[in-house]
Structure 1
């Protein structure tokens, strides 16, 4: 089946039952398929319409970013479960070998999937993903902020945090709403524009904070474990110069030991380069896939 025919047939929203819950995935655009893992609501908003003219974007839920059934077992959240979810969606979407894309910690999930199903992955794209555990990431972020954050950015963070609703009001919100409110207030840590309002990205999102915590717990003792035998696909790592949550400097010690990797830092981006510098991002990913297209895509 050609990419164009596959994309035309599958355009829209779809669902698959896996790992004790129902996961959605959306298909938009025509061309080279990109399987973007994490959320079928949040992530389609971060990629440009221009990219959809060259790629079929398959944006897939993972269990921590959906409304879970009360019977869902949160201890089942691990990289094996996530790999099973991604594989089920790949099959349901009719994809063969596919480029797998993950943003932030979802990039680590994409990488772990590629290691478990190497025969099904042609390329891996990590966007602002850390190569280390949470404690190391936080420590590096604090150092990067101290060295590189402008006075304007520091003042913006202080002002935004002080204007956040008071503690009693924050506690009156649902845990998920409080999580989003805090993320939006911390814009100077995440965006090139320190006053960017990211609230629109979260509209319509329903998720379980216990599942979010279980997801984050995977990174308490996370190790990259990158080797050529388990990871055969080429990897593109995209970072933002003004990402003060997951600084690009985290990769400095890791990169020299990695093979088959391209690394790029976007100078006018924070934690979401595909949204902040869409034209540059689109050119980069399309050119890189073309240059590394030795494995057939679905």
Structure 2
């Protein structure tokens, strides 16, 4: 663990099987654990939010350097959830809010089901009910029927470059895909997210397993009846990567305490695209 000063991040890593899970701690105030990449996600949250919350950004195995070969057993969803608990203990967190963006929303929610004594609030940002064939078909239909030709043309041009990206850097396939999907991901379709991904480690087999299998088959209803803490679901109006917002209607009654907020000038990442409104929404939710 390396603490540089009270004004700079506290960073370090934790050995977990064949992976070195990084973490980055910034700010002061209400403890908030952000699951995903300790390199990517600090770039998406505002400086202002760090004045009110103590943000603990942690890697999961999809974003962590591997010091040895790993097998499918090393990247299961259960192991990823165990890593969150392992990191919680390492960081000395007692009770905290947990936030997951995109597919990491499932990690945050499932961790809270397993360890409710540790979690005060759950925040899911840019997360659909699942990545099932049915849900993703609805996402594709929304794209085809509602999106302007100009946005579609931007995506077409970007995707034409994807093959060359992957050929040049096959180990960064997942990262390259998300960069090229910008027109589906951002309110401003020509926004370039590449700087956000600079120096971010990606392990393709982990993402293939989690996004391609686990999140495809997940049923988030399981265990929701045991979830006592409030849940915030933050969605972007221009998010075409996940199932449409209305697909959540079938799940609302299963949550004991669910708040849904739509960000009209955001795509997949409202914490960056509408940071002022996102911060106000999040802080009001955490104050409950």
Q: TM-score, normalization: structure 2?
A: 0.91
Structure 1 position 120 matched with structure 2 position 118: yes
Measured after TM superposition, the shift of residue 250 of structure 1 is: 2.5
Give CA-to-partner distance per residue, 1:252-283, whole Å, 9 cap, x none.
Answer: 22224422010011000000000000000000
Aligned to 1:180: 175
Q: Does 1:58 align with 2:56?
A: yes
1:43-98 per-residue CA deviation (whole Å, 9 max, x = no partner) reads 11110001001111100000111121333223332332122111111111121111
Equivalent pairs, count? 282
Q: Which residue of 1 aligns with 2:71?
A: 73
- The aligned counterpart of 2:193 is 198
Structure 1 runs of 4+ with >6 Å offset: none
Is residue 217 of structure 2 the alignment partner of residue 221 of structure 1? Answer: yes
- The gaps in structure 1 that reach 5 residues or longer are 1-6, 292-298
Cα distance in 2 between the residues matched to 1:228 and 1:43: 27
Given candidates 266, 276, 280, the residue that maps to 1:269 is 266
Residue of structure 2 in register with 1:281 after alignment? 278
2:203 equivalent in structure 1: 208
Q: What is aligned with 1:258?
A: 255
Tell me, which stretches of 5 or more residues in structure 2 are unaligned?
none
Pairwise CA RMSD of aligned residues?
2.0
Change (3 A) 1:19 1:115: farther
- Give the TM-score normalised by the residue count of structure 1: 0.88
Alpha-carbon deviation of 1:226? 4.5
Distance (Å, rounded) in 2 between the aligned partners of 1:43 and 1:156: 25
Pairing 1:129-140 to 2, within 5 Å after superposition: 129-140=127-138
Q: Counterpart of 1:295?
A: none
Q: Distance in 1 between matches of 2:70 and 2:224?
A: 35
1:140/1:133 CA distance change after superposition, 3 Å: same
> d(CA) in 2 for partners of 1:30 and 1:149?
41
Q: Give SS of 1:123's match.
A: strand
- Alpha-carbon distance in structure 2 between the residues aligned to 1:220 and 1:74: 17
Partner in structure 2 of residue 105 of structure 1: 103
